[in-house]
Amino acid sequence: MTALGEPNRIYPRIPRSHDGSPPLARWQFGVTTVYHFFFVPLTLGLVWAVALFETLYVVRGDELYKKMAKFWGKLFLVNFAMGVVTGIVQEFQFGMNWSEYSRFVGDVFGAPLAIEALLAFFLESTFLGAWIFGWEKLSKKVHLACIWLVAIGSNISAFWILVANSFMQQPLGFELRNGRAEMSDFLALITNPHVFVQFPHVITAAMTTGAFFILGISAWHLRRKPQGQEAEAFRRSFAFGAVYALASTVAVMVVGHSQAQYMVRIQPMKMAAAEALWETEDPAPMSLFTVASEPQRRDLFAIKVPGLLSFLAYNRFSGQVKGIKELQALSELRYGPGDYVPPVMWTYWTFRAMAGAGVAMLFMAAWAVGALVRQSYEGSPLLLKALVPALLLPYVGNSAGWIFTEIGRQPWIVFGLQKTADAVSPYVSAGEVLFSLVTFTLLYGALMVADLYLLAKFAKAGLAGPPAPDGATPLPAAAQA
């Protein structure tokens, strides 16, 4: 494999327009990706709950679990459909706005994306169709197998996407030939160590999203004091959601800590920017609050905990963490003249938004589990009320986490190999990108409104589903599912 320092001496600077299209192209990809990633974690995290509830129905023969599987499955389907629609645009942008990126790494990057589409997504969508229409046509066990295959397929799909993203974070399994990166070792690509810190973090974050979604909706219904099967269904959902939320939140923190320690080794500039650490320090303090001057690269005001960053990096209260100024100098020696510092305040605050959302989720999940153990949650209006808006916390954490991951890698689109400024399509005008940016933003905004409306409508309707319009014939139960 070619060393990371070599590409800048081999890969020529590509002629490109200077009309402002790179920033607009970055904004367009950022906007569409954040929109898309609103839906993905809920799909990945909620499907396990649907599969578990149906498993309990098949094993125990309890019809209430079947109704719960259908209720949460209905919400899963709405979210899944929106995720597919918003995801289609993502890959088209590589060829349209990022043609130089596609030309340079297409032989490597395209392989996991193709496998994701042809294998994982087809597996997922095929068995999802069988699950939707097979309630009364398939045997219980075959129907149950369908939803488990959907769950497995969804998460395999995420794995291949993260293989592609991990190549951008830590490129492995390639050789440079004629100014292009070509795959030389497929096994190295899919066993990239970065995948095995990123994939668990994304999956556990998705589980927290599904867990808090279930908790929030269950709490909303329990506040209304439902009766009969409705009450029992949301009690069971609340109990599952509370345990699921606590377990997944602890897990996402543990694997997130491992990912941060790995980041110190392979992308030290990202960690330095996340802490606004200008100078190399040993032991290194962790910033609780910093107001800094990026042009001057110094703190204006800061509150720091001595040694805590070293502990997070090395599990001990000593250990050198390189600062931005030293890393910039080392980058210039390795890659040539240029600015290798990402937008520090964006990186700093998105990291804190992600971590803050995680701490808030841990508190809420522990509160819910404590109330569950004491059997006091139905008599705690404050808890039930707080859990409804708390379902937004994973979305804050997920979005902030991805923004941090991608902005903190700048100026690289493929770390050490290609800069973002060199990856954009050279002859796409700023006006064309601006038009598509505005169009997609408005279109995705409308889809988001539709998604929220449908989720709210079906969630509020409960197990029975929304009433049919006046004069309409209600759908049979299987079709409603």
pLDDT in tens, 445-455: 888 888 888 88
**pLDDT value at 5 more than 50:** no
Per-residue pLDDT of 101-158, as tens digits, reads 888 888 888 888 888 877 777 777 788 888 888 888 888 889 899 999 989 888 888 8
Distances in whole angstroms, Cα of residue 122 to Cα of each of 78, 106, 154, 190, 232:
18, 22, 10, 20, 36
pLDDT above 90 for 294: no
Strands 298-305 and 286-293: antiparallel
Among 73, 94, 98, 91, which residue's Cα sits nearest to residue 21?
A: 98
The rounded distance, in Å, linking the Cα atoms of 4 and 400 is 28
Query: Residue 379 class from Cβ within 10 Å (0-12 exposed, 13-18 middle, 19+ buried)?
Result: exposed
What band does 364 get if pLDDT is binned at 50, 70 and 90?
Answer: very high
Q: Tell me how many degrees the CA angle 144-150-154 measures, rounded to the nearest 5.
A: 155
Calculate the average pLDDT of the chain: 83
pLDDT band at residue 465 using 50, 70 and 90 as cut-offs = low
- Residue 463 near residue 71, CB atoms below 8 Å: yes
DSSP for 250-265, written as a single string: HHHHHHHHHHHHHHHH
* Mean pLDDT calculated for residue range 67-95: 81
**pLDDT tens readout for residues 303-322:** 888 888 888 888 888 888 88
CB-based contacts of 459-468 (< 8 A; 24+ apart in sequence): 459/75, 459/217, 459/220, 460/220, 462/71, 462/221, 462/226, 462/230, 463/67, 463/68, 463/70, 463/71, 463/229, 463/230, 463/233, 464/230, 465/74
Who has greater pLDDT, 211 or 480? 211
Per the CB < 8 A criterion, the answer to whether 234 and 226 are in contact is yes
> What SS3 string covers 63-74?
HHHHHHHHHHHH
Does position 329 have pLDDT exceeding 80, yes or no? yes
Per-residue confidence (pLDDT) for residue 9, from 0 to 100: 33
What is the predicted pLDDT for the residue at 62? 85
**Predicted confidence (pLDDT) at residue 365 exceeds the cutoff of 90:** yes
SS3 label, residue 140: helix
pLDDT at 169 over 50: yes
Angle value at C-alpha 361, between 53 and 307, nearest 5 degrees: 140
Write the pLDDT tens digit of every residue in 33-55: 888 888 888 989 999 999 999 99
Is residue 471 over pLDDT 80?
no
- Does the pLDDT at position 393 exceed 90? yes
> Using CA atoms, how far apart are residues 210 and 53, in angstroms rounded to an integer?
14
Q: Which of 239-253, 299-313, 393-407 shows the lowest per-residue confidence on average (mean pLDDT)?
A: 299-313
